[in-house]
Structure 1
Amino acid sequence: MRGIVWLDSPVKTYRNESGSLPELRISGDTSRFAYKNKQGHRSAIRISRIVSETLRLGGMENVRWFVMGDDDTVFVTDNLVRILNKYDHNQYYYIGSLSESHLQNIYFSYGMAYGGGGFAISYPLAKALEKMQDRCIQRYPGLYGSDDRMQACMAELGVPLTKELGFHQYDVYGNLFGLLAAHPVTPLVSLHHLDVVEPIFPNVTRVQALQRLKIPMQLDSAGLMQQSICYDKTNSWTVSVSWGFAIQIFRGVLSPREIEMPSRTFLNWYRRADYTAYAFNTRPVMRNPCQKPFVFYLSRASIKSNTNLTTSEYTRHHTPQPLCKWKMAHPVTLIGWKCTRSLILIYGIGPQEETVAGS
């Protein structure tokens, strides 16, 4: 895997940084292209040409895919490879996902891969794009960004978007907990706008939160954020596990259909608590005081090489709990949870074996 960072102008670097930085390139002059969108910035033209400019560098004969993301996009590279391996790189493929915002998708396109979530273009398609992109861009001076210019050229080439739900634009504000705790059953490929939302783990900085997430990511990237729903019959609890991230315990028996929907812990891109503004189903945060979840966040994870089992531990996040008058077992006495997983899953074949125990 080779990475290149494209800039609009040179930046100062130091000798001791050369080994840790990716290859830096300066984009070509785009002053000849018209840009007429009053709300955007003409840098969108430069960014939209990055795939073509990368191809022109040469030495790309053995490349299968070109993957593009923003400067605030975090990729889970192993999962990116897993997703791309599903497709024939010798064919034309344009792979990515939509915005979480219904209004954003209406304004831009429901057929566009959003650049913040990242997208992938197969090598043959990149070659076809490079031959016509500059002429294509000239025909769309009124578009806002780079990703809608890219989609316009894909439309001219007759290539539709292949949607993969693991690419995340995250056009939301607030807390991503509801989205991450109910991640769809597909590898987590990318995260975006982490500088806009709250840290994904509480009481730490955004960087520290990502460093903690790297631990399960390196142990079992395919299982990261995958949701399992189980039931404690003795205590009448519903337990939702988002592996490598968090565990939720709900008093009472809730259906999987309800728990697999993200709870609205976040606001839409226009900072409104409007559930009709999302391009997917959501559920309200529990209003019944007895069904407010008890949340346990990942604290550590490890793997036993001789058994190929991962063990992850989760510590309770202490927040005030409303008074509950139900006469049933109370999760407040639990300090933490431990999960073990067998690394046997191949996506599309079946679920992983998972064991959950409270302490």
Structure 2
Amino acid sequence: MTNRIALPSPPPPPPPPETELKHIVFGIAASSNLWEQRKEYIKVWWRPKETRGVVWLDQKVTTTKNEGLPEIRISSDTSNFKYTNNQGQRSALRISRVVTETLKLGMKDVRWFVMGDDDTVFIVDNVVRMLQKYDHRHFYYVGSTSESHIQNMHFSYAMAYGGGGFAISYPLAVELAKIQDRCIQRYPALYGSDDRIHACMAELGVPLTKEFGFHQYDVYGNLLGLLGAHPVAPLISIHHLDVVEPIFPRMSRAEAMRHLMESVREDSASIMQQSICYDKTRYWSISVSWGYVVQIIRGMLPPRELEMPSRTFLNWYKRADYTAYAFNTRPVFKHPCQKPFVYYMSRTYFDSSRKRVIGVYNLDTAAKPPYCRWRMPSPEIITSIVVTKSPDPLRWKKSPRRDCCKVLPSRKPSTLYIWVANCREGEVIEMQ
């Protein structure tokens, strides 16, 4: 009997290079009726010669050279498909085919298709960071749900809402394209495009992988409460910009988003990330939403409350109260002494000598604070806040954690200086 020598098994193949922006193709669903207005949102985030993708319209529109927009194409005719939903629009059929039609263009070296609406702004670098976590060679359907519990109950908690955007890996897009036309014929009574995509994903057996940075924003009113207490996740998208108020006062909606991009350019990974600290000598609670807003509140509020969005916004179903959100919220303070003092980002720049990002936030003087009888210093003496931090492009390769912040000494009584950084060993957000 001959003894066999066991040969070592060959080493596994090396993983593919990390996903980059060039591997991602955006499919943007647009309407010719709203094109002149909505294209301004696309201009905010689109990077000519860097981003790849197509805007899909229902019919031709007038275009201008060098507008800094993606390629525009006309969707295929969907008049032969059945549509029986009395509350929706047939345009949902053509929009549901955006990923498939983009796939059929035959672009090279594609790993992901990202779907979004024309009234959605993407934080492109965070799209890349988020998708780097997943192996594009497998089936992935990545997105998030609505802020409205009623919306999720009506449609599904397992569905990626298309306005906020979702991502489909290339091999899954190939499988979707094989069945999609047959699939959507089976669901003529569905309302929109995203529930049709979800129906086809259910037939393929692929569940939703949830990422909290996609924001459908099925709300009305002021996003301050939501953006001021963003979850510990990269900000990926903001949708329904035509419905909510501009995120910065006294600006148009598109101007406000362009203003936000000043901070995004300096540290996109940290945009909207909340830090909580306390001015213990003056008994103030401070919440920093980096790159966007700083809020000072009299008294000591625990982090458990400050990380919860305040209800500055209204539910998509206007008769619904705060119990109809799909997350916890806290009421807007009614006591005149607890009204937050809000400081919006005025400018953000990189200090090359200190290798720090500096953000200047100015008090919103239009919101005059009510009279307060409390015997403690009033934040209205602070007219500007200077926030200093180091850029942190690798923050999402580590376990998620809020940054820590601390109040620095100041020689100017009208200016508050704050330092924001990764929490050190043993450092906690502790109030007294």
Taking structure 1 as the reference length, the TM-score comes to: 0.96
Of 231, 254, 258, which residue of structure 1 is paired with 2:305? 258
Matches of 2:403 and 2:369, distance apart in 1: 33
Paired with 1:180 and 1:34, the residues of 2 have a C-alpha distance of: 40
Distance 1:259 1:126 in 2: 40
Answer whether contact 1:51 1:66 (CA < 8 A) is retained.
yes
The 5 Å alignment of 1:310-349 reads 310-318=357-365, 319-344=367-392, 345-347=394-396, 348-349=398-399
- Contact in 2 for aligned 1:72/1:194 (Cα 8 Å): yes
Number of residues of Structure 1 aligned to a counterpart in Structure 2: 356
**% identity of equivalent residues:** 63
Shift of 1:209: 0.9
SS in 1 for 2:52: coil
Q: Does the CA-based 8 Å contact 2:276-2:404 persist in structure 1? A: no
Whether contact under 8 Å (2:266, 2:391) holds in the other structure is no
- Structure 2 unmatched ranges of 5 or more: 1-50, 409-414, 417-432
Which residue, 76, 89, 101 being the options, matches 1:41? 89
Residue 11 of structure 1 and its aligned partner are, at CA, apart by 2.1
Within the candidate set 281, 287, 304, 1:240 is matched to 287
Q: 1:64 corresponds to which letter in structure 2?
A: R
Matched residues in 1 for 2:279 and 2:63: separation?
A: 56
Q: Does 1:166 align with 2:216?
A: no
SS in 2 for 1:326: coil
SS at match of 2:199: helix
Is the Cα–Cα contact under 8 Å of residues 265 and 285 in structure 1 kept in the other structure? Answer: yes
Comparing 20-29 with 68-77, which one deviates more in the overlay?
A: 20-29
Q: Aligned AA for 2:389? A: R
Q: 1:289 to 1:353 in 2, by over 3 A?
A: closer
Amino acid at match of 1:38: N
State the partner residue of 1:149: 196
Q: CA 1:91–1:306 in 2, change beyond 3 Å: closer, same or farther?
A: farther
What's the TM-score, normalizing by structure 2? 0.80
Please identify, of 304-313 and 156-165, the stretch whose mean Cα deviation from structure 2 is larger: 304-313
CA distance in 1, matches of 2:244, 2:133: 31
Query: Over alpha carbons, which structure has the higher Rg?
Result: 2
Q: Which amino acid aligns with 2:78?
A: T
3-state SS of paired residue (1:4):
strand
Decide which moves more: 142-151 or 272-281: 272-281
* Number of the residue aligned with 1:134: 181
Q: Say if 2:62 is the partner of 1:12.
A: yes
Which residue is equivalent to 2:256? 209
**C-alpha RMSD of matched pairs (Å):** 1.5
Task: State the Cα distance separating 1:170 from its structure 2 match.
Answer: 0.5
Q: 1:25 maps to what in 2? A: 73
Tell me the secondary structure at the aligned position of residue 254 of structure 2.
Answer: helix
In the TM superposition, residue 355 of structure 1 has moved relative to its aligned partner by 5.2
Alpha-carbon separation, structure 1, partners of 2:352 and 2:97: 45
Residue by residue over 1:58-112, the C-alpha shift from the partner in whole angstroms, topping out at 9 and shown as x without a partner, is 133x101000101101001001111011111111000011111111111111111
Deviates most, 190-199 or 322-331: 322-331
Deviation at 1:351, TM superposition (A): 5.1
Runs of 5+ in structure 1 lacking a partner?
none
